[in-house]
Homo-oligomer: A and B are copies of this chain.
Amino acid sequence: MNNICLRLAYDGTQYHGFQSQPEEHGKTIQGELEKAWKRLAQEEIKIVTAGRTDKGVHAAGQVINFKSAARIPQDKIPIAMNSVLPEEIRILEAKLVGAEFNARTSAYWKRYDYKIENKRTADVFTRLYSLHEPVPLDLNKMRQAAARIEGKHDFKTFSAAGSNAKSFVRTVYHCKVQSSSGYITVTCIGNGFLYNMVRIITGTLLYVGKGKIVPEDMPGILKSRNRALAGKTVSPAGLVLRYIDYDGNRPSSIFEDIESNDLEDLI
């Protein structure tokens, strides 16, 4: 059996999240991938995913792996899969990896970007991939609050109520707020994220941006472990799973790239 690793992108707008549902609530990314592989290789597979994105959430750099006995050369897999997948899902890269590789547990860190369109009138061409927020936002305050989220903390405050995670402790290496051409991007890089965590963090930063709370409130909100003190869980449309690191790169290397020339990559 080969261990096949795929990097993929998807527009999650019409999908009921990544993971196949016990009962069918609607089409899922995993379901479409399994169907496509079955059509190509007449083989049932068990997919391991780096991050189970929620309903409506997008990915630009999702990673999965699965064991397969099929004899499809790895460099042919993207084109073959893309020929049978719906156009909302594209395989970007395929490679054979060692038997021990696991898309979830082998990851060092993940990067999510949340995009806010901070313009008076929403742009019809970005509405599916951002949250429209017409009220002017105080970026500096948002940045001060974001800095207080960085570090190793119990993030129960920022997880969906009723979550049954064993531990709420995660390390957020970076929480940065960038702005370009009317779009604000909240980038969260961490070793793992709780259910809805990035969307609740962003909702809380929006409260800060509007002056409902101040950056100095953040440590208390974090410590409270009380979901009710955090902001709203903002729309999934603005969220993209951007990148997963398996090489042990420094998380900050992403911001070095951005500073050099790649700001557009963030928006």
A58 on the interface (CB 8 Å rule)?
A: yes
Evaluate contact between B129 and A125: CB separation under 8 angstroms. Answer: yes
When chains A and B are docked, how far (Å) is the Cα of A260 from the Cα of B82? 39
CB-CB contacts below 8 Å: A73-118 with B: 78, 82, 87-92
Offer 26 A-B interface pairs, CB within 8 angstroms, sorted by A: A9-B124, A9-B125, A10-B124, A11-B124, A11-B125, A11-B127, A58-B124, A58-B125, A78-B121, A82-B121, A87-B122, A87-B124, A87-B127, A88-B124, A88-B127, A89-B124, A90-B121, A90-B122, A90-B123, A90-B124, A91-B121, A92-B121, A125-B129, A128-B128, A181-B264, A264-B264
**Other A-B pairs beyond A9-B124, A9-B125, 7, CB < 8 Å:** A11-B125, A78-B121, A87-B124, A87-B127, A88-B127, A125-B129, A181-B264
Instruction: Please list the 8 inter-chain residue pairs (A to B) with the smallest Cβ-Cβ separation, ordered nearest first.
Output: A11-B124, A9-B124, A90-B121, A90-B124, A125-B129, A10-B124, A88-B124, A87-B127
A194 nearest CB across to chain B (Å): 26
Q: How far is the CA of A89 from the CA of B127 in the complex (A)?
A: 11
Interface string of A1-23 (1 = CB under 8 A from B): 00000000111000000000000
In whole Å, how far is A226's beta carbon from the nearest beta carbon of chain B?
34
User: Chain B contacts of A124 at CB under 8 A?
Assistant: 9-11, 58, 87-90
- Enumerate chain B residues within 8 angstroms of A181, measured Cβ to Cβ: 264
